[in-house]
Structure 1
Amino acid sequence: MTSNTIKTTARPIFPFTAIVGQEEMKLALALNVIDPKIGGVIIMGDRGTGKSTTIRAITDILPEIEVVEDDPFNSHPNDFELMSDDVRAKIEQGLKPKIVLKKVMMVDLPLGATEDRVCGTIDIEKALTEGIKAFEPGLLAKANRGILYVDEVNLLDDHLVDILLDSAASGWNTVEREGISIRHPARFVLVGSGNPEEGELRPQLLDRFGMHSEIRTVKNPELRVQIVEQRSDFDKNPQESLAKYQTLQEEFRNKIIKAQELLPQTTIDYKLRVKISQVCSELDVDGLRGDIVTNRASRAYAAYEGRTQVTVNDIKSVITMCLRHRLRKDPLETIDSGDKVQKTFEKIFSDIV
């Protein structure tokens, strides 16, 4: 069961549906929420374009999830892949865990975080003296079944980025120390943001993010005025602003819930899958991540639109975000804006568009 009503939080968060001018970023986040296996999104763009605001806003609007009460890993009460070993052992013994509804977590990863803070630590002294595995959960445990947000990801230590990406891909975090090993589920949507002026991520790390969203400062003067007025109204009276967007927020939340339910039934024709791989091959995309992510994102987009059959238009809507960051071979190159991907798409799909 999920809760469908939007509650007013103690600290009001700017409504997601009120954000204008950043449609690509909003879509990338929505698709990753529908199918976390897409592999997260990296959002690169100018300062002051609402990256952090948008990520916090989508977390606030998401439906509540069922978790096992008092479990530090937000364990799923039924899915073994999303529960800790302790909860699983109790269920296998026939014990029924107490279930509570909880808001989806958004965990902020500070730039100066250490590996222990991210992964968690094992208390060796307690393990040796008392014979129990004493584990202090880290940020990855807190982020299980939620969103892990790394601002300025391009300034984060490569080693930590590797750890985050490995956990996001496998869905598990393993901590080993002095021969003692503890693992726990860590299935989260990894969202990174940054300003390209401060440096790009290495191509090998970029490739591990499912999608890439590029955002620019809005140039249209009328739209800029609208954004400034919306923000000003929200800061003056947050509750009134939230009430104004209540219906749109509810509609968006219901759309996400419906898409999550519809996703397992979505299919993509063989000929379309071949065309996607043709695009990847033509663009000389290394590996098969591009093919896999484009297939997943197309299915999530179809579900988002309330359909079970993927169309050419669904693929067109997501393929740029799935492939543009995989074209860089040289760390000194800039990321393609998407023109190259779209031109190749038009050429290969021309016979069925």
Structure 2
Amino acid sequence: MRLISVTIGILALIVCTTAKLAPTIRLSSGYDIPVIGLGTFESTAGDAEQAVKDAIDAGYRHIDTAFLYGNEVEVGNAIRAKIDEGVIKREDIFITTKLWSTFHEPEQVEKAFQRSFDNLNLGYIDLYLIHYPVSYRRVLQNIRLPSDDVNAFYVFPVDKDGKSQTTDVDYVDTWLAMEKLVQSGRVRSIGISNFNSVQTDRILSIATIKPVTNQIECHPNLNQRKLINFSGQRNITITAYSPLGRPHTQSGKKLAISDPKVLELAQKYRKTPAQVVLRYTLQNGAIIIPKSTNKNRIQENFNIFDFELSDTDMQIMHDLNNNYRLINFESDKDNKNYPFNIDF
């Protein structure tokens, strides 16, 4: 029985180490990033650890997390487990995490980064992003923790009327503090998330180290072609979060994944609607980070490199765009740094 179990273990290792990997692209910092990663937003701590292990076994070499998601420790645990198994080496995998909006003051950036660095416990972080350009007040939620503990504060502080408690910290000052993290050697690349074109150009106007990516909501209903083209001209990649959208919004409005035209294309290419949607966003010029904790869907989402949408079919997908945004942080719209008040 022991011989059988050992043999099975060896076979499993062979399968893992021979998994087909995704293509990579070169960032402006000189490092390569796989064009598909596993998103972990709304993955609970328990689910996230297994999902990351399943993703690595399926061939993913790019994992996206954030302090906000509350699963950095589990993501780090999963990666170290796969390193210990010999499935990957640290340098084989690309890890992104993010600075949350309650820590935008320059003197808070390093403290928040250190917590994420310790949570992941991987020796270095590949990419660190300003998660969102609007800054929030730090409001204590846990008086048992010291006030210099990043976990002591509400991540979405609101007043008695339920309105966001934002501040006017300038993200430019935050960026300059981010640059110091690169100089420390603990993070290789830095970038932004949810920034519009004007905000991106403000960062570029003062940056010594330029952002390598802007992570934004991007899917066929919000295809972001203007921002993708704008960013490409500045050698900034676009990373698409929520690339599948959601099957139905709260209002019942259907997204592309359920559109009859997408269903027809799925039949034509002998793929699932999700695979067609992901392939579209990839060909549209974005890195994609679909989220799932289901092992089969994690594998399905990865299997998009054996077909290509024709120019005609890409146009069909382009035409599904209706600028419908799923995540809009609407309660922050009165803040001067709110990013979604302009076209792109």
TM-score strictly above 0.5: no
Q: Which has the higher helix share?
A: 1
Structure number with greater CO (CA < 8 Å, separation at least 6) is 1
**TM-score for the superposition, normalised by structure 2:** 0.29
